Structures are given as structure tokens and as C-alpha cells.
Structure 1
Amino acid sequence: MERSAMIGLLNQYVHEPGLINHCLATGAVMKALAEKLGEDAGLWETIGVLHDIDFELIHGDMQLHGKKGADILIGAGIDPAIVSIVQRHNHMLFSGTYEKPVEIALQAADSTSGLVIACALVKGGKLSDVTVKTVTKKAKEKSFAAGCDRSRIVLIESILPLPEFYAVAINGLMAIREDLGLT
């Protein structure tokens, strides 16, 4: 799926700027990780961008999160492989069942994108000043970016060492920093 098409689809259902940025950021981390691992970068980016397409529609009902997104994606004619991963990404329903690298990557990217952006914000919006050391240190502070689930981030260690993953995540976000309003 072309990036403009996936963003267009996302914008049909997601209107809150922070959530749009979260989806774009997760997609950027997924794309960078796929490139690192020799996977399909376009597919992984699409999964990351569309993973929370239903979030505004479910009004906090996490029993519907992912399922409603799958319905939207099926209706849009999206590849069933993408639909399945989006549907299963809700860790409140499927925790402990992630085996495929793309599923593990989505869990880690979903939380890491927010952690890295929070690090940039404390540096005055300068993503370029965020290092692996910065992210590693801030990840240890439970109160910092408290919504970023560290237990989901460390799942990536079955694929890639955590410091290496943080470097990939930072580089992925650097590629879209202007879209995120960061420097």
C-alpha cells in the first residue's frame, strides 16, 4: 500500500493529532525495523500506521480494539495478513501469544515510539539530540512516559538486542521527524 493511501485511510477514522502522530511514529519504527531485519518494509510500515485505526471509534472499550480495526480494514480491501496482525495487536486480549517477528515488532514499536518521542520532547523537541543512552536511561524511570509499556518493549529482545532496537527506532523516527513536528 502506498504511504499516501495508508495515511488517507488512517485520516478517515483518526482525527486527533496526537493519535495520528502515534500511528505515523509506530509505522516509521516498524519500517526501520523491517529494513534492519530484511523484512517487507512497506508491509510493516502499513501495519504500524494502521494499527490504531479504530481507537477513536471504540471509545475506550478495549474489548473492541483491534476487532473494529479489522472490520474497517476488511471493508477497505486491505491484505488479510495486515488485518490479522492489526486485530491481534491488542495486548489486553492477546498478551503472551505473539510469536511472529512482525507481531513482536508491533508490540515493541507501539510503546517505543512514544518513549522516544517523549525523550525528544524533554530535549525541546529535538529528536536529533536523542541517543540510545537517553532512551535506555529514561526507560528505567517508570514515571517517565508512563503509558509506554516497558514489558511490551522488551519482547523485541527475542529478535534484536534492546540498545540496537532503540537505535533503529530513533533512526526510523528521524526519517519522519518533520511530520511529527520534531527537529
Structure 2
Amino acid sequence: MNRRDALELLHEYTKSKNLIKHALAVEIAMKDYARIFKEDEDLWQIVGLLHDFDYEAYPEEHPNKGKEILEKRGVAPNIIDAIQAHAEFTGVLRDTLLKKAIFAVDELTGFIVAVSLVQPNKSLSEVTVNSVKKKLRQKGFARQVKRDDIIKGAKELDQSLEEHIGNVLKSMQTISNKLEL
């Protein structure tokens, strides 16, 4: 599967502009982490792009319905397993760097978007590592975000929380126009 095919699949199942932007944010962060860890950038970005492709159509069955769809389309097992691993309840172990990265990036991208939306100009350029850390400490802010997953994700990547936030923020800032932030 290449990026074009992954993008077509994403658009086939996802109509929400915000979910598509989330997929793009996770995609770029995954691609950049692949570069940092000297891994396959194409593979990692496809996992990022597709990790939630089934969520809008099958919210109660996500990501298991996505697994079924991907298997029927002959998608490589390592892509499917990595996507499954981003949801702890699937029981798929995060036993590869790819699986750890998708878990680590998913919640954090959403949180960074939330932080950007409370900035004066609602812009990623105004977001800093410190502003993200400050909002993480505010339990009432973006309370649906699993803060423990963000912290656990950084640890699984052997990154400090500051490094992890900085890496993901920098990635997202490179596509701020696509994210409309």
C-alpha cells in the first residue's frame, strides 16, 4: 500500500474534516519519528494516516472493523498490527518501535491541537513545549485526552516528555496550513 492508496481509503471511510486533519497530523509525526529512528518513512506515515480510518464509520468497532477491512484488501500485516496496537484494549502488544510510536503520537497530536485552539490566533506557531506541558497539568483542559497515554508513549519511545512534545509539535507545525492552525 502506498500513500495515495492510504489517502483514498481514509477519504472513503472518513468525511469529517477534523478526523482527516487528525490523520494528517499523526501521519507527519510518524514520518518524522521514522526519520529520527532511521526506519521506513513510507510505512510509518501510512500507519499514521490509517490509524483511525474506520472510526467515523464504525466508532463502536474501531479499530477492529478497520482490521477486517484492511485484511480483506490485502494490506500488510505489520501495518494492521501497528494500527491495532494504538488501542490498548485490542490486547496487541507494542513490541516494535512502530507500534510504540503510533501509540505515543495519537493522543499527543489531539492535545496539541486543543492547545493551539486556545492561543490568541489559534495557531500552532504560538504553541510551545512549555504551553503544552502547562495545559497537561490542567486536568479540566481537554479532559477527554488520556494524559497517562501521552506520558507512557514518551517513555516507550525512550524520550523525555519535553523531547516527545517538541518532536510532535515541530512535525505538526510543518503542515500547519493543511491543519488550518
TM-score in same-fold range (> 0.5): yes
Task: Give the secondary structure class of the aligned counterpart of 1:178.
Answer: helix
CA-to-aligned-CA distance 1:83-129 (integer Å, 9 cap, x gap): 1111232223338x323222221112110001111111111221011
Query: How far apart are 1:74 and its partner, in Å?
Result: 2.1
> What is the aligned partner in structure 2 of residue 151 from structure 1?
148
Question: TM-score, length-normalised on structure 1?
Answer: 0.89
Partner Cα separation in structure 2 for residue 176 and residue 2 of structure 1: 20
Question: TM-score, length-normalised on structure 2?
Answer: 0.90
- Runs of 5+ unmatched residues, structure 1: none
Aligned pair 1:73/2:78, yes or no?
Answer: no
* Contact 2:51–2:86, Cα closer than 8 Å, also in 1: yes
Q: CA RMSD in A?
A: 1.7
Task: Flag the 1:181–1:72 CA change in 2: closer, same or farther, 3 A.
Answer: same
Displaced runs of 4+ in structure 1, greater than 4 A? Answer: none
Partner Cα separation in structure 1 for residue 50 and residue 77 of structure 2: 13
Partner Cα separation in structure 2 for residue 23 and residue 35 of structure 1: 18
> What is the aligned partner in structure 1 of residue 85 from structure 2?
88
Query: How far apart are 1:53 and its partner, in Å?
Result: 1.2
Aligned residues: 178
- Runs of 5+ unmatched residues, structure 2: none
Partner Cα separation in structure 2 for residue 53 and residue 180 of structure 1: 17
> What is the aligned partner in structure 2 of residue 111 from structure 1?
107
Query: How far apart are 1:154 and its partner, in Å?
Result: 1.3
Which residues in structure 2 correspond to 1:171-182 (within 5 Å)? 171-182=170-181
Farther-moved stretch of structure 1 (34-43 vs 133-142): 34-43
Sequence identity (%): 33
CA-to-aligned-CA distance 1:157-177 (integer Å, 9 cap, x gap): 232111111111011101221
